[in-house]
Amino acid sequence: MSTESDGEAGSDAESAPETDVEASTDTETEAEPAIPEPQVSSHQQRRLAEKEERMAERDERAAAGADLDEETTHLRIFRYDPEVEGKTEPRFEDFNVPYEEGMTVLDALIYARDHYDSTLTFRHSCQQGVCGSDALFVNGSQYLGCKTQLNEFDEPVRVEPLPHQDVVKDLVVDMQHFYEQMDAVEPYFEPDELPEDELEEQRQTRENREKVKLSTRCIQCGACMSSCNVAAGDNEYLGPAALNKAYRFVMDEREGEQRREERLEIVEDEHGVWRCQTQFSCTEVCPKDIPLTEHIQELKREAIKEDIKFW
């Protein structure tokens, strides 16, 4: 009996390794099929994931700044992107930007974009108050971002795109209509006579130059048009910037007499100078201190004088 038991035990012992081999083989066989890789997320999903990471880093930096008692300025920035899921609804996002003496609104926006969220979109170029590309709506009024000190505002500093214009993305607005209104006054010279020598200048007196000097400062930022209630309600109204441009040519003594009459006819249109309600809002927000309302009133006087007939 014991011998048979030993034999059975031995038989079991001999068969055990085979079972182990089979198990091992089965394990290897099961491991052979490659685990399917997860589907690669879309470009939009990757952007959103990266955005979340940046926001987390932003919060960490903000917390670190608070721990170090770093002086910061609270920005509340308008955000909108019709092409990105999750950003199609207009909203505001908060940023705490380290403050330095002399920092402008544009400086703060650039810092927020470069350090917190690279998708933050706004226009800027020269940063010297010349290009006119960074006009913004800050705490309820129009300003040129590069010319406006950040410490002029109470916090949070609320930065929005220019009102009464279609928003393309974040703080960028569509300026096409504004430029079309500027072109509508045909802003170019057509003198009655030209100097015989093509290299000779068309001369202008000092007095006349002083009269039109302020009107030539316009940088076409659109702040005046954005502030105008008439322009907001009348899409065909030429607007203060275009009328100022017309003033610049009408009042220039080098302008041809026939061309001057034609230009006055343009501004006399029902959507021209007579639509101005003399609210001075355009003059108040102009970053180049152009007396826009005064120029529009002078155009009205010139238009009346042109229409008066003496017999």
Cα 258 from Cα 80, distance rounded (Å):
48
pLDDT score of 311: 52
Q: Which residues of the chain have pLDDT under 70?
A: 1-41, 43-44, 51, 55, 58-69, 309-311
Question: Does residue 149 sit in the same domain as residue 211?
Answer: no
Question: Does residue 293 sit in the same domain as residue 211?
Answer: yes
Predicted TM-score (pTM) of this structure: 0.76
Question: Does residue 189 sit in the same domain as residue 239?
Answer: yes
How crowded is residue 1: how many other Cβ atoms within 10 Å of its Cβ? 5
Residue 15 within any structural domain of the chain: no
Q: Is the peptide bond before 82 cis (omega within 30 degrees of 0)?
A: no
Q: Which helix (H) or strand (E) holds 284?
A: helix 281-285
Residue 114 within any structural domain of the chain: yes
Residue 220 within any structural domain of the chain: yes
Cα 177 from Cα 236, distance rounded (Å):
9
Question: Does residue 238 sit in the same domain as residue 296?
Answer: yes
| Nearest to 271, CA basis, from 240, 293, 238, 302 | 238
Residue 29 within any structural domain of the chain: no
Residue 2 within any structural domain of the chain: no
Number of compact structural domains in the chain = 2
How crowded is residue 290: how many other Cβ atoms within 10 Å of its Cβ? 24
DSSP line for 38-64: PPPPPHHHHHHHHHHHHHHHHHHHHHH
What's the domain range around 75? 46-173
What b/e sequence results for 165-198 when a residue is b if at least 16 CB atoms lie within 10 Å of its CB, and e otherwise? bebbbbbbbebebbeebbebbeeeeeeeeeeeee
- Tens of pLDDT along 167-180? 999 999 999 999 99
pLDDT score of 239: 97
Query: Measured on CA atoms in the order 17, 19, 24, 29, is the torsion positive or negative?
Result: positive
List, edge to edge, every strand of the sheet that includes 157-160.
91-98, 72-79, 157-160, 135-138, 141-144
Question: Does residue 135 sit in the same domain as residue 96?
Answer: yes
Cα 1 from Cα 5, distance rounded (Å):
6
pLDDT score of 218: 97
pLDDT score of 92: 97
| Nearest to 259, CA basis, from 192, 308, 195 | 192
How many alpha carbons lie under 13 Å from residue 126 in its C-beta half-sphere?
A: 11
Question: Does residue 155 sit in the same domain as residue 230?
Answer: no
Q: Are 249 and 189 in contact (CB under 8 A)?
A: yes
- Tens of pLDDT along 57-85? 766 655 554 444 579 999 999 999 999 98
pLDDT score of 62: 53
